[in-house]
Amino acid sequence: MADAAAVLNTSPVIPVVTIDDPQDAVPLARALADGGVGIIELTLRTESALTSLKLIANEVPEILVGAGTILTPGQADAAVAAGARFLVSPGVTPALLTSMLSLDVPVLPGVATVGEVMAVLEHGLDSMKFFPAGPAGGPSYLAAIGAPIPQVRFCPTGGISLASAPEYLKLPNVACVGGSWLTPAAAVAAKDWDRITGLARGAAALSR
């Protein structure tokens, strides 16, 4: 089974990025890499997302690029074909999980309840996305899950900022956090890649 734990260990923060214009894809990815963040979760929320993903995979090989917001088996197949090196879903169904596990890339299924964690664990996965982290209970909820299910490691995502990230990262069952603050829409629109590099440096410096 592809190693999702290695994905979680790449950086204290996995940038969760939505790119509207594929021309921004390569400079944005390079800005993150220049700041010491060697991973990006590119969401499939735009019609051109797969184009952006392919550009990053081909032109910025030093960054580990994955596809997020995987909702269907078809999206999973298309993302891997475009060069995604890991897959992230906001939630999980039996059909979607089976489909993603049939592909030769690491998978981070989204979970929000103890029952969902147990269902994913039954498939042999012990690395998961916890989403939406803030509304679903935050650090106290994850700490409570860690008592009966200590073997699972999470990447909490949703409502996390540079200020709140340390509270998650200090938990033994949190490997990293997902965050959109590294690539603010205003900075991307202005093509302010230096700002994104600076934000990436701040994220890369977080301790865990």
What is the set of active-site residues? 41, 129
What's the one-letter identity of residue 180? Answer: S
Q: At what angle do helices 49-59 and 73-82 cross, to 10 degrees?
A: 30
Strand partners, 67: 42, 87
Instruction: Show the CA angle centred on residue 157, arms to residues 151 and 160, nearest 5°.
Output: 120
78: CB partners within 8 A, 6+ apart:
50
Distances from the Cα of 95 to the Cα of 56, 75, 102, 127, 130, angstroms? 29, 13, 11, 19, 19
Pairing mode, strands 127-130 and 153-156? parallel
